[in-house]
A = this chain, B = another copy of it.
Amino acid sequence: MSSTQRRTVFFISDGTGITAEALGHSLLAQFPDCRFRQVRAPFVDNIDKAQACVRQIRDAATHDGFRPIVVSTLVNSAIVATLRQADAQFLDLFEQFIGPLEAELGTKSTHTAGRFHGIAESEDYKARIEAINFTLAHDDGQSNEKLDESNVILVGVSRSGKTPTSLYLAMQFGVKAANYPLIPEDFERNKLPPDLIRYRTKLYGLTITPERLSQIRQERRPNSKYAAIENCLYEIDAAQRLMRREGIPFIESTSRSIEEISAKILQEIRIPHIGY
């Protein structure tokens, strides 16, 4: 397929489609030279909706001049059979894996639609929502109340990536992630913020290159001392020295996504309640 041509990819699910989409993105990322148009079709949970998808797939094929790719998570075999009326390449998660799993486990699957359906009542889900609320209340050192309940407290200079990482940890993994800034006063004293000292074992640091930090801060406060490269150099150097001396592990956030940073942090902290 030439790089100027475009293929349509459908993410079809009887639930939210979030798993199908994650799966699809991982697969498509292996073909960086191809161009894809992505169409999300969640909640395809009856034959009518499946037939509407079939029409969309046919239209896309006519438009593109290629048969589309369908990445799906569908448990209902009548819906699958309906979709198969379209000419497409089907990559279905359940079709591939449920059979082998049933054989391995020696039991039938429930064939229940929708990964997230009913999840809102589960303990895991409630823990995630509670973690999000905790993380929001403990963003940027705004509260010391119940800090002992945190699973991890991210520390680092202003704009090193603490807030989005904390929120990702809470939302994806149910981790109560507080975050606390390291500020010039801490560097002058060359000590941790006093409120954090007793939580030293929960601390995890984020650092960033001075160049990237300066760039991010410039967007916020152009031409400020805060954003100046000399100041960024000073703050990062001081923060890293402080973290090394206090034995706080830290990770470079510059070229890492919040997914990568969170997965690395999760490898190193102990989170009793989530059972890994």
Q: Are A101 and B27 in contact (CB under 8 A)?
A: yes
Q: Which residue of B lies closest to A39 (CB)?
A: B276
- A16 interface residue per 8 A CB criterion: yes
Among B19, B125, B172, the residue within 8 A (CB) of A26 is B19
- A167 interface residue per 8 A CB criterion: yes
- A77 interface residue per 8 A CB criterion: no
Q: Are A257 and B29 in contact (CB under 8 A)?
A: no
Q: Which segment of A111-119, A141-149, A177-185, A222-230 sits at the interface?
A: A111-119
Among B75, B107, B163, B171, the residue within 8 A (CB) of A33 is B107
Among B75, B93, B104, B257, the residue within 8 A (CB) of A89 is B104
Q: Which segment of A57-65, A192-200, A262-270 sits at the interface?
A: A262-270
Tell me the complex Cα distance, A73–B260, Å: 15
Q: Which residues of B contact A97 (CB under 8 A)?
A: 27, 91, 96
Q: Which residues of B contact A114 (CB under 8 A)?
A: 260
Chain A 125-167 interface residues, beta-carbon cutoff 8 Å to B: 125, 129, 132-133, 136, 139, 163-164, 167
Tell me the complex Cα distance, A32–B254, Å: 41
Q: Are A263 and B18 in contact (CB under 8 A)?
A: yes
Q: Are B25 and A259 in contact (CB under 8 A)?
A: no
Q: A18-B22, A34-B107, A40-B276 are in contact. Are A89 and B115 (CB under 8 A)?
A: no
Q: Are A255 and B121 in contact (CB under 8 A)?
A: yes
Q: Which residues of B contact A1 (CB under 8 A)?
A: 105-107
Q: Are A257 and B119 in contact (CB under 8 A)?
A: yes
| A5-37 contact mask (Cβ, 8 Å, vs B): 1 or 0 | 001000000011111001101110111111001
Q: Are A16 and B259 in contact (CB under 8 A)?
A: yes
Q: A19-B26, A40-B266 are in contact. Are A257 and B120 (CB under 8 A)?
A: yes
- A69 interface residue per 8 A CB criterion: yes
Give min CB distance, A182 to chain B, whole Å. Answer: 20
Q: Are A89 and B96 in contact (CB under 8 A)?
A: no
Those 5 A-B pairs whose CB atoms lie nearest each other, nearest first: A30-B109, A16-B263, A116-B259, A120-B257, A26-B115
13 contacts between A and B (CB under 8 A): A1-B107, A7-B105, A18-B172, A26-B93, A30-B112, A31-B105, A32-B110, A38-B275, A39-B276, A42-B267, A116-B260, A125-B257, A136-B163
Supplied contacts A43-B264, A164-B171, 10 more A-B pairs, CB within 8 Å: A19-B23, A19-B26, A25-B115, A29-B112, A31-B110, A33-B107, A38-B276, A120-B256, A121-B255, A129-B164
